[in-house]
Amino acid sequence: MRPLLEAEGLRHRVGGFGLEVARFQVFPGEILAVLGPSGSGKTTLLRLLSGLLPLQAGRVEGGLRAYLPQNPPLLRRSVLENAAFGLYLKGVPRKEARKRAEALLSRVGLKDKARQPAHLLSGGEAVRLALARTLLVEPEVLLLDEPTASLDPGNTAQIEALLREAAGEGRGVVLATHDLFQARRLAHRVLFLYLGEAVEEAPAERFFQAPKDPRSRAFLEGRL
């Protein structure tokens, strides 16, 4: 199976921090969890893969990628206009864009708030809106940075259901998270970063049951 996203020889250094990833792949229908303590390079990796940070070394190849930061910005417009905005940029006629946006807002539980200003949404609702806006432009790979941080269990469950749907539609999902329970629930594969180094990559079941690297074991046991 051909990967949707492939990177090799990534190196990025800022000040005293350096990230090195020899190889990175994401396949259709896969959720890949990127784990590691704070400061390990998870956000830097996602930003390199999305093109938001310039490559200092290596290559990244693949189709359309969409990056969703932990606190995604919303336009000072209605919920519906926010959802449809990416389609407007792609040249989709306004009527068609709004129709498609309304359908997806129904799926993410925001149909009844379509006409209200987006800035009035709760934190969980704002993340669901940002994810809906991202999904509407039909990216091949979703790059998500702690999308459920600080959300209540109900909103977290809805976001996780959307990520499973996206993978089920054949998209690749790269999920940076501190939530080990979430990674266990969702991930097919795990990449563990520590101090900018790609320490271990493994199928999720094997990583959680029998990590090979002692740093991975220490992280899972709460010692890192």
Q: What is the CATH number of the domain that holds 24?
A: 3.40.50.300
Name the pTM for this structure: 0.92
| Cβ proximity of 55 and 10 under 8 Å | yes
| Cβ proximity of 180 and 220 under 8 Å | yes
- As a whole number of angstroms, the distance between CA 219 and CA 107 comes to 36
User: Is 142 found in the same domain as 177?
Assistant: yes
User: Is 151 found in the same domain as 46?
Assistant: yes
pLDDT number for residue 73? 87
Mode of pairing for the β-strands spanning 189-194 and 197-203: antiparallel
The last residue of one of the domains, among 120, 155, 187, is 120
Residues in Cβ contact with 21 at an 8 Å cutoff, skipping those fewer than 6 apart: 7, 10, 45, 58, 198
Per-residue pLDDT of the chain (224 residues; tens, 9 = 90+): 899 999 999 999 888 888 999 999 999 999 999 999 999 999 999 999 999 998 899 999 998 999 998 888 899 999 999 999 999 998 999 999 999 999 989 888 899 999 999 999 988 889 889 988 998 889 999 999 998 887 888 888 988 998 999 999 999 999 999 999 999 999 999 999 999 999 999 999 999 999 999 999 999 988 87
- Identify whether 96 is part of a domain: yes
The last residue of one of the domains, among 120, 151, 185, is 120
- Identify whether 126 is part of a domain: no
User: Is 156 found in the same domain as 116?
Assistant: no
| Cβ proximity of 116 and 147 under 8 Å | no
pLDDT number for residue 18? 87
pLDDT number for residue 124? 86
| Total domains in the fold of the chain | 2
The last residue of one of the domains, among 94, 120, 146, is 120
User: Is 186 found in the same domain as 93?
Assistant: no
- As a whole number of angstroms, the distance between CA 129 and CA 84 comes to 10
One-letter amino acid at 171 equals R
User: Is 80 found in the same domain as 66?
Assistant: no
The residue segments making up the domain with residue 69 are: 5-73+138-220
User: Is 90 found in the same domain as 19?
Assistant: no
User: What does the longest C-alpha to C-alpha distance in the chain come to?
Assistant: 56
